[in-house]
Structure formats: C-alpha cells, structure tokens
Amino acid sequence: MEFSKNEIIRLLADEQNQADLFKQADAVRKQYVGDEVHLRGLIEFSNICRNNCMYCGIRCGNANAVRYRMSEEELIDTARKAAEMGFKTIVMQSGEDMWFTCERMCRIVEIIKKFDVAITLSVGERSYEDYKAWYDAGADRYLIRIETTDKDLYHRLDPNMTWQKRHECLLSLKEIGYELGSGIMVGLPGQTIESIAQDLLYLKDIKVDMAGIGPFIPHPQTPLKDEFGGTLDLARRTMAVMRLLMPDINIPATTAMESLHPMGRIWALQSGANVVMPNVTEGEYRKLYELYPGKICVDDTPLHCKTCIGAKIMSIGRVIGSGYGGHAGVLPHLPK
C-alpha cells in the first residue's frame, strides 16, 4: 500500500487509535501471508565483536562482557539439533568476529545446508566477495539491520562505522540474490517519529524481504545506560505500519519486544508479525549474548523454547509454518 510520509507519521504518533492500526495490520497479515507463523532457530554463535556500537551490550568496549565463541563443530552440532527438532530455517548470528573467515563460514554453511534447512546469516558488515562466497556455498538469507536512516544519529551511535557502508552492504546482498532482512530499533536517543517514518520508507525502497523492528533497550554496561529506551507500543505501531506498507514480507515478533512485556511477541503476532525466532543456543552462551538486559529465556533449553512458543502460537488460533517460510514462497537455493 502507498502511504505518504505524513500519513506514516500520523499513524506512528497516534497512541489513541493504535488498537485500530493493530487490527488493520492483523487483517493485512492474514490476507497476504495467512495464519502460518514461521519459526527460525536462532544460534548466537559468538559475542566477540570488533565494533563499538553505543547501544550494544557486546560492543568491544564493554570490558565486563564475558566473551565466547563456538567452535565450528559446536556451531554445526547446534544447527543439526535444531534441524532435528523440526526448524526449517537456521539463523546464525554473531558479533563481527573475524575469526570466522570467509572460508570457515563457507565450510560451515555447506555442511549445515545438508540438513535440509534454509540458512540465514547475520554476522554484520563483510566484503562483497565474502557475501558472494557464502551465497554460493548455500546461504539463502542475510539479516543486517540499517538500525536508523538518520545518518547523524547513526554516526553518533556507531563510532568508526559509516551509514553509507551499511547501506552498500544491503544493496550488495540484494544484488547477489539473498533474501534480504533488515530493520531498525525504535526509541534510540534523539530519534524522532519523522525519522522512523523515513526508516520505513527506506526499507520499502530497498525492497526488504524481511523487516525486524525492536525497541531499543538500554544496557547498563554501555554509554547509553541512562537513556529511556523504546516503548513496546511505539515498536508495535512501527511494525504494524511496516505491514501495511509491505503486505507480503516476513515480519518477526522480536525477542526485544517480549523482553519488555511477557505478551510482547503474541501481541506482535496479532499486529502484523508472522515470524518468531526461538533461541536454540545452548547453555551459558545464551546469557552471554547479552545485547540488552532482561533478555528472555536465558535459562531455557532449545526444546523448551520451541514447545513454549509453539503452544502460545496455537493458543491464538495460528499454525506453525511447515515449509521454509521464505518471502512469497521463495525456496532455498542449491549451493553452486
């Protein structure tokens, strides 16, 4: 659907009538992507990061973060178990940990691809050649949030990084053929409603296949610890407007939303979302991948998470997706 920037701003700002917006987004979701909720098994395989994003708990400047990195075997094993549990998509996310070289990631992707799953990578900014090699090895989707389209804000929050570079990564990924996932945080210090409206138009403009929207949650071991953070309501309105703008894309109910309220993901699923990414990381690693405080399910097992969210999904009359859950039926591609 076409919306002017002013219309988007009006919808984002309208707290009074948000229930109507949520209802409308829910109806559009049902019409375009149906009642299936696609589950992605999320593996957080390293919290080692060369970047120093002001908002992020695993920024390299956080000397208090206890660092970990899964071995290749551990990562592959975690993915195998997730596939055995029935996940048809495996999402591998980490800080920007350069120990995972181009070749190493290729090897990992090639092996995991044999488990009959779609593969999503989310390991930050890399070269065009790396992205291309991983795609050829069998990676299907890539997730890298633009975070904000306000360039000044971006440069304040992500020292030593440039907005242009991140933007170019997104364009490269799309060009290579990945299903492209991006998104933003809402409630960043100094972020305006107008800038969020701009973000949504940007995501539409670059034709994302998936858009993740989450509230910014201040982490006590970061420079932004005393900031207010984003509200669940604003994050939800943003997500709902995204659904109206791009009716058939994949939209996750984000973990950060549930970290603000125990009903966060369910409410998100009822206001436009159609994807959930249960954590399948095991043991202590879950706690240590602490982007923000109050992260849910840190003491749970993969099986518990899958069963728990599965029951919640069915309790609201929805069904667990049985396929790979690509945007508009796109299937995993074969490795080159």
Helix (H, G, I), strand (E, B) or coil at 206: coil
Asked if 214 interacts with ligand SAH (CB under 6 A), we say yes
Measure the CA–CA gap between 78 and 302, rounded to whole angstroms.
10
Least distance to ligand SAH, CB of residue 241, Å: 18
Asked if 213 interacts with ligand SAH (CB under 6 A), we say no
Asked if 139 interacts with ligand SAH (CB under 6 A), we say no
Measure the CA–CA gap between 94 and 194, rounded to whole angstroms.
31
**Tokens at 313, concatenated:** 């999904």
CA 20 to chain centre: 26
Least distance to ligand SAH, CB of residue 116, Å: 26
| φ/ψ of residue 202, rounded to 5 | -60, -50
**Tokens at 204, concatenated:** 């539409």
Give the interface segment with ligand SAH, choosing from 133-141, 142-150, 201-209, 316-324 (CB under 6 A).
Answer: 142-150
| x/- letters, 289..308, toward ligand SAH (CB under 6 A) | --xx----------------
Least distance to ligand SAH, CB of residue 93, Å: 5
Least distance to ligand SAH, CB of residue 292, Å: 4
Asked if 321 interacts with ligand SAH (CB under 6 A), we say no
- What residue type is assigned to position 269 of the chain? L
| x/- letters, 26..55, toward ligand SAH (CB under 6 A) | -----------------------------x
Considering only residues 151 to 170 of the shown chain, the ones binding ligand SAH according to CB under 6 A are: none
- By beta-carbon proximity to ligand SAH, the closer residue of 55 and 178 is 55
- What residue type is assigned to position 119 of the chain? I
| φ/ψ of residue 300, rounded to 5 | -95, 165
Q: Which burial class, exposed, middle or buried, applies to 173 when counting CB atoms under 10 A from its CB (0-12, 13-18, 19+)?
A: buried
Asked if 124 interacts with ligand SAH (CB under 6 A), we say yes
Considering only residues 94 to 113 of the shown chain, the ones binding ligand SAH according to CB under 6 A are: 95-96
Asked if 258 interacts with ligand SAH (CB under 6 A), we say no
Least distance to ligand SAH, CB of residue 230, Å: 8
Measure the CA–CA gap between 220 and 293, rounded to whole angstroms.
8
Scan for tokens 């399910």, then name that residue. Answer: 297
The number of beta carbons lying within 10 Å of the beta carbon of residue 186 is 28
| x/- letters, 56..95, toward ligand SAH (CB under 6 A) | x------------------------------------x-x
Scan for tokens 């904000």, then name that residue. Answer: 148
Chain residue whose CB lies nearest ligand SAH:
124
Measure the CA–CA gap between 330 and 34, rounded to whole angstroms.
16
- What residue type is assigned to position 320 of the chain? I
Measure the CA–CA gap between 241 and 201, rounded to whole angstroms.
10
- By beta-carbon proximity to ligand SAH, the closer residue of 148 and 271 is 148
Least distance to ligand SAH, CB of residue 284, Å: 19
Residues near ligand SAH (CB under 6 A): 55-56, 93, 95-96, 122-124, 144-145, 147, 185, 214, 216-217, 219, 256, 291-292
